[in-house]
Structures are given as C-alpha cells and as structure tokens.
Chains A and B, each alone.
Chain A
Amino acid sequence: MRAGAYAVVVGATLVLAGCGNTQNALAPKSHQAQDIASLFWWMMGGAWIGLAVVVGLLVIAWRRRGGAEGADEKTAERRGWFVVIGAGMALPIAVIAALFVISDVFVIRTTQAPAASATRLTVLVTGHQWWWEFRYPGTRAVTANELHIPIRAPVRVEVRTADVIHSFWVPQLNRKIDAIPGRTNSIELDADAVGSYRGQCAEFCGVQHAHMGIDLVAESEAEFRQWLARQARTASPPTTAAASRGQELFTSAGCQSCHAIRGTAAAGDVGPDLTHLASRRTLGALAIPNTRDYLRSWITESQEVKPGNQMPNLDLAPDRLDDLVAYLQGLR
C-alpha cells in the first residue's frame, strides 16, 4: 500500500512541477522580496570577504609552520593587540552598525505589517493542520490552499491559526509571518508580475508539516475580480444524474460533517470549503494535482497519499465513487 502511495505522490509531483512553481527567495517578484534578496547579496559579498581574510590568515599560519618565526614575543604581542582591537573590534563594529541601520531602519519598513489604510484589499488567512483557508472580507469567497491576488496592488494578509502555530510564507513575495493562537499577524503582498508562486508552511506544525503548501496566483486586476466573483457564488447544482447521486452521497457518506458546500446543506467547518473545489489546481494542500484520478485516490486512500492527515479513507464501491467524483468535479 505504501509503495502504491509512493507512486501516486511521485507521479503527482512530476505533474505539479510542470506548473513551474518555485520557492526561491532569490528570485523575487515583489519589491519587498527584492529588498531582502539585495540585502542578502550584499551580505554574502561581505561574508566572502570576511571568510577570505580569515582563510588568508590560516594559510599564512600554515606556510610559516615549523619554521623560525620572525618577530620576537614582545613585538608580536604588541602587533597582536593592534590586530585584535582593529580587526576584531573596530572593523566589525563599523560594518555591523552599517548593516544594522540599512536593514533594521530602512529595509524593515517595507517588510513589516502594512499600515491599516495602506491597502485596498485584505485577505484573511487561517492555518489548519494541514491546509490553509483563505477568506476575502466583504465577499462570501472562501477557498483553500489556492490564494489569488491582483498584481501591482498591495494586499494586506492577516494571518491566524485554528489550532497550532503555522507560518505563512511565499518567499518570492515577502518574508514569512507566523500564525499564533490568540494573535493576528499581518504582512503585505505586492506581486510585480502575473504568475503562480509556491509557498509553504514554515513552522513545524505536526506530522504533515511537509505537505502544507500554498499555491499563490497573481493575476491582472480584471482576472482577479472575475475569479473572486466566481468564488463568492454558491455551488452550481449538479447537471448529470451521476452528479446528483454524488451530491446525495456527499451527505450520506458523511462528507458534509467536515466540509461545506455553499448553497447546499453541507456546512461542516473542519475541512476545506469545497464549493469551488474543481476550480483549484491541487488537492491536499499541494500534495497532488486536482485531476479525476488523483481525486479518486484522495477520497479512498488519503491516508496513504498524506499519512496522518485529518481525512479518513472512505470505503466506497467503484460506481459510487464515480458518482461522488462526478459531483465534486462539477463544483467549478
């Protein structure tokens, strides 16, 4: 069984890789991430110089090994004090003071929480074991693991948790921010370019911390508005007989006790809202792609695909599974 799940996950990631997603902090797509990346490149340059100095000293020491030394003890000691105070105190104080001022007085202004009035759009993020819930205040839109934002428009992201500590992190756009019980933390996202950016929970949150991904889609203002309007709508009713049977099954098999589908009786709030499940690109917080076959395996063997996750394996006869999948795939 585990080998089977392994094959499922390997296949899944090959497909996901096709999205071209990356979590590279040094491929910034926002001015915040750009500032942080620039900071790093400068610091790395300085670090290489510092390391070169020390390696140089070690090499000199090596070359002088075993031989008769130059300076007598007194001269060496006097020079030693000069070196230790100059290179060991004065120089690092100057360099670190400069670094401190640049990063902690200037750069920090853009990477901290935005002022309350600085953004037009707010997204509420809630971390769950092990998936993300995204809500757009002022609309009914609720989605999971897939976060859409408009480009070139600062978005305020307010981060909370429903259970343990998580950390919201999309490295190409900004630094990470923890989701802590009893607190609301916020950062700003301001994508420069259309694209999909991968993120991931960055604070250890239990057994499936590794599969708590974020699929962030940055799109034009118009496309974003369309998407948001669609997500705010209630679920489209089933159009085929199979899908209708699937909807009944959703209730009778117990799915509705955890999942909500707006516009139906299903109103569970434990797992992700599935009103527009079929519009999403992945399942299980980026564990597998959202295709027919993967959806089937997610329903019947989610414990093999993502061991320890909160959804039980459902034991369904193949024809009933077909009906349920037909229903879920109609939720666009």
Chain B
Amino acid sequence: MKTQNQKAWFFVLPVLLLVAFNALIPMMTVVNYSVQETFGNNVFFWHGLGWFEDLLNSERFHAALGRQILFTTIILLIEIPLGIIIALSMPRQGFWVPVCLVLMALPMLIPWNVVGAMWNIFALPDIGLLGYLMNTTLGVDYDMTQDPFAAWATIITMDVWHWTSLVVLLSYAGLVSIPDAYYQAAKIDGASSWSVFRYIQLPKMKQVLTIAILLRFMDSFNIYTEVFVMTGGGPGNSTTFLSIDLVKIALGQFDLGPAAAMSLIYFAITLLVSWLFYTLMTKDEGK
C-alpha cells in the first residue's frame, strides 16, 4: 500500500525560502528592470524587448563580448594544459607532497582584490618589481597603464598565476586515484609514456578536468575584481570585459534597463555554454 505523507514539504520549505530570497527575487527584479524604462522618481514605463534589441545591436556590447571570449579562450588554453603538466610532474608520495600542495593552494587563498592590488603594484613601471625590471634591466618598453598589449599580458599572467593551481589540484586528485596496477600493467604491456598519458591518465582525469574547465570557464567569463583593481578596464576600453562594462552601465551611467538586459544575456550565455559543455562531456557515461 502506498502511503501519502505531505510532511516532507516542510523540510523543503527552508531551502525554498533561501533560494527565493537570494536568487529568485533579485533575479525577477532584474527581469522587471530589463523590460522597463525609468526617468527616476521610481516611475517606470513599459519598454518591451527594446533594451534587448538595442544591446544585441550595440557595437559596444559586441566588443566587450569579443574581448571576454578572447580572454576566456586564452586562459583556458594556457591553464588547462599547464595545470595537467604540473600535476603530472608533482610527486605522488613522500615528504614533498604536502609542501607542493600547500604551495599550489596559496595563490587561491588570497582575496581577489588583494591579488589585483598585488599585481597592480608589481607591474608599475617606476616602482613595481616586475615593471621596473622589465623597463630598466631588460629594456622592454612595458607599461600596463599605457599599452593595451602589456595590460592583456599582465592580466593573463595574473590569472594564470592565480588559478592554474585549481586545475593542478583537481588533476592531481584524479591522478592519485589511479591504482598502481594500471601503471604496472602498462609497463608490462610495453606502453610508451605518451600511451600511459593518453589511455590511462587522461581518461581517469576526464571527470575532474570537466569540472576544472567548467569552473575556470565560469570564473574567467565573469572576471571582475582583479581587472577592476589592476586596469579599471583600460587603457581605453582594451580590458573592458563584460562584467566591467556591465558595472559601468549600471552604476556609472545608472542605465538600469540596459544593464538589466545585459545581465540577463550575460547570464544566459554563461549558463548555455556551461550546460552544453557539461552535457557533451558526460553524454557517454553510464552506457
């Protein structure tokens, strides 16, 4: 006999409330703003999908989106292979394991605005260690505040420094979970080290790498704090990524409608890409 017990709903209620207050209600406010126009005094006029049309046709948005995609692509292309290489070369046992792990985790423990400030000072041409050395000792004309290329290079280096560890730690976790027998069998089967990587290590790391790529995609696609502290989006607009542009529109120009429309599109892109990626990567599991 099937018994019905509706009491279970009470256990779900707290979570429901929590999600409502920290996600659903703020989100609906944004949706609300995105379809209205205001001239202040809390008076709103219906604007339909006007803001969305404007935004999707705006060159400013295209440029910011382009920069964002380029940035995310570059750091993924650097951080994922680099993270795997570092994880492969880390010791699997002995005294150096905890040392390596702690050293690896350090950059991730530093607050993001501190990371931004650190790298900002580090890169300053006149007083920063890196900036000074580059300009005087190496004779490279390097100034993050003037040269877009230098600004990009610095931000990418900063991100690689800050976040490769995440890929390393996740890959390492995948690697240490491989039983010794696999390596022994591969040795006996006469496998080359490339085959060992290709057929043993990579397949075993697939799941953690999926998570690593997903996290790095979402984080880098939403990057704000470090870039805001380091370059503020400059020089010019050269490092104005989506989130920086969004804040400029929302808080600088106080255009609530366009900013709300942009937030929703931004969110939709992140969600869509993450979902597509995750679905594709996990589709043959369980077969």
Does A associate with B in a complex?
Answer: no
Interface residues in chain B, defined as those with a beta carbon under 8 Å from any beta carbon in chain A: none
Interface residues in chain A, defined as those with a beta carbon under 8 Å from any beta carbon in chain B: none
